[in-house]
Structure 1
Amino acid sequence: MDGSEINYVKSKDYWSNIPASLNGMLGGFSSLTTLDVNDSNVFLKKLFKIENGPSKNRALDCGAGIGRITEQLLSKHFECIDLLEQDEKFLNEAKLKLDGTNAKNFYCVSLQDFSPDNDIKYDVIWIQWVLGYVTDNDLVEFLKKCCKSLNKNGLIVVKENISSNEEGEIDTEDSSVTRSFGCFCYIFQKANLMCVARRTQRNFPTGLYKVEMLALRPVDNLKQI
C-alpha cells in the first residue's frame, strides 16, 4: 500500500461535512485532547534540551484544523506560529479562536499543494494526524519542502496513528491510510530525514491505534552539526 488509494476529492468532501469543533477534529474523542497535548508538551520540552535542539522563534502547524495544537501547545513555546489547513471553515474558526495571539499566517491549502514562503524559516514544523490523507509520493515531496523551510537546528515533528499491519490500513469513509511504522520509516528515508527522538503516546484508551511522536532532521543538516 503506497497511499495511491487515497482520493483527495473524497477526503476533502468528507471533512467539509465535519463541524468546526473540538469533537469534530478528534473524531468524537474530544476527551483525549488533554492527554494528547500533555504528552506532546513533554516531548517538545525534551526536544528543546537535546544537543543542537531547535530554537523557539517560529513554528508551523500542519493540518491545523481549528487551531487546537497551536492554541494548546505551540503558542506556549514559540514566539510566532503559522497554520496550514485546507478546509476554509476550520481555518476561519482558528482565526477567531487565535485572534490576538502569536498566530500569524493562516494558509488555506492542502499539504500536497503547499509551497512554503522561501523567506520564512521554522524551528519546528509540527504535523499531527494529517499524513494519512497524503499519498506516499506527495508526502515525500512535502517533507522535502519542509526540510528547505527549516531553520538551523530545526526539526520536523510527526505525530501519527500507527497500524500494526505492515501494509497499512485504508479507511474508505474518509479516504485515508493508517501507515505502519515501517512504512513511515521508508518515507522518511526517501525524504532524506533521520529520526533524532521518539516518544510513544501514553494513557490513551485500549482499542485505539498506537500513536508515535517522531522528531526528524534532514540528514544533510546532521552532517553540518
Structure 2
Amino acid sequence: MDSNNTTSVENEEKFYTDAIHYWSSIPATIDGMLGGFGFISQTDIRDSKLLLKQLFNSKAPPGKDHALDCGAGIGRITKYLLTDFFHKVDLVEQNPNFLNQAKQYLGPKLQDKIGNYYSSGLQCFEPEESKYDVIWSQWVLGHLTDSDLVEFLKSCQNGLKPNGVIIIKENVSSSDVDKDEQDSSVTRPLDLYHRIFTKAGLDCYRQVKQRNFPKGLYTVYMFILKPQTALSEVTIENV
C-alpha cells in the first residue's frame, strides 16, 4: 500500500486473512452484505441503473453481452442490476459460503443469465482476456492493498472487450485514508483513487456521486474507467 496514505500493511498476509476471518462470521444475507444497512439497497441500485442507462446512451458504448461482478457476495448486484442489462454475468467472490448462497438467491429464473462462479480473492483473480463488456466492483476494493488494486485494475483491462469499461462504486473518505480494523479494510480519498487509476493506465471517463443515502454514511462515488488509449471524452459529475 501507499506508505504515505493508506497503510504500509507490514504484513499483507494478515491484512487479507483478517478480512477472510471477518467475513466468515457474516450472515449470507442482504443485511450482512451491506453491514446492517440493507435498507439502502434499492436506493443504491436505482442510481447504478441510471449510470448504466446513461453509459449505454453515450458515444461508443460498451456491448451488453457479458459482465463481471467483483466481490459479488450473494449476488445482490448481479440479481438487481447486471442481469437487467447483460446477457451473461459471471461472479467472483472470495467467500465460498456466499457463492453457494448466491446460487439459491439468484434462483432458477436467472439461471440462463448466470455464467461462471469464481471463488477467489480479487488480489489473486485475473479475468479471461477480452471477455467482458463491463467489469463491476462495488464495496470490495477497500480490501485490497494499493499495489494489489493497481495490479487488479491492470488485469481487468486485459479482460475488457473493445469499448469495455471498468465501473467502481466505493465509499470515499473526506481527506485521509480511514482504516477499519474490524473488517480489515480501508476507505480511500478521491485523490488517492485517481492516482491509483492513473498508475493502472486508466482514465476516469465519468465520476458520479451517489444520491440520497442517509446522513452519517460515507460519501459514495461511481467511477467509469477506460483504458487511457480508449478515452474519447471525460465527464466529471457530482449529482
Fold match (TM-score > 0.5) = yes
4+ runs deviating over 3 angstroms: 2-6
State yes or no: 1:80 paired with 2:88: yes
Which residue pairs with 2:17 in the alignment?
9
Q: In 1, Cα distance between the equivalents of 2:159 and 2:83?
A: 19
> Higher relative contact order by CA 8 Å / sep ≥ 6: 1 or 2?
1
In structure 2, which of residues 108, 120, 123 is the aligned counterpart of residue 109 of structure 1?
A: 120
- Quote the Cα distance in structure 2 between the aligned partners of 1:114 and 1:182: 26
Q: Which amino acid aligns with 2:215?
A: T
Aligned length: 221
Measured after TM superposition, the shift of residue 3 of structure 1 is 4.6
Shift of 1:199: 1.3
Residue 129 (structure 1) aligned with residue 139 (structure 2): yes
The Cα of 1:140 is off from its aligned counterpart by 0.3
* 2:229 alignment partner, SS class: helix
Partner of 2:76: 68
- C-alpha separation between the residues in 1 aligned to 2:214 and 2:8? 31
Q: Is the 8 A contact 1:62 1:111 kept in 2?
A: yes
**Equivalent residue for 2:67, pick from 59, 67, 73:** 59
Q: Write out per-residue CA displacement over residues 69-90 of structure 1, whole angstroms, 9 at most, x where no aligned residue.
A: 0000000000000001000000
Tell me, in whole angstroms, the C-alpha distance in 1 between the residues paired with 2:106 and 2:225.
Answer: 27
Q: What displacement does 1:103 show?
A: 1.1
Deviation larger for 25-34 or 213-222: 213-222
Retained in 1: the 8 A contact 2:40–2:213? yes
Structure 1 residue aligned with 2:151: 141
1:124 aligned partner, one-letter code? V
Deviations 1:158-196 (A, max 9, x none): 00000002x311001111000000010010000010011
| Correspondence for 2:163 | 153
- Tell me the distance in 2 between the aligned counterparts of 1:33 and 1:39: 10
Q: Is 1:24–2:22 an aligned residue pair?
A: no
Shift of 1:222: 3.0
Residues 195 and 215, structure 1, Cα contact 8 Å, conserved in 2: yes
Q: Which residue of 2 aligns with 1:184?
A: 193
C-alpha contact (below 8 Å) 1:47/1:197 kept by paired residues = no
> What is the distance in 2 between the residues matched to 1:209 and 1:200?
11
Given residue 2 of structure 1, which amino acid in structure 2 is its aligned partner?
T
Unmatched tracts of structure 1, length 5 or more: none
Deviations 1:123-159 (A, max 9, x none): 0000000000000000000000000100110010000
* Other structure's SS at 2:183 match: coil
Q: Which residue of 1 aligns with 2:206?
A: 197
Identity, % of aligned pairs?
Answer: 50
1:214 alignment counterpart: 223
Taking the aligned partners of 1:111 and 1:133, their CA distance within structure 2 comes to 9
Q: 3-state DSSP class of the match of 2:179?
A: strand
Q: Deviations over 1:26-67 (max 9, x none)?
A: 000000000000010001111111111111100000000000
TM-score by length of 1: 0.95
Structure 1: how far apart are the matches of 2:7 and 2:192?
A: 10
| Matched residue type, 2:193 | F
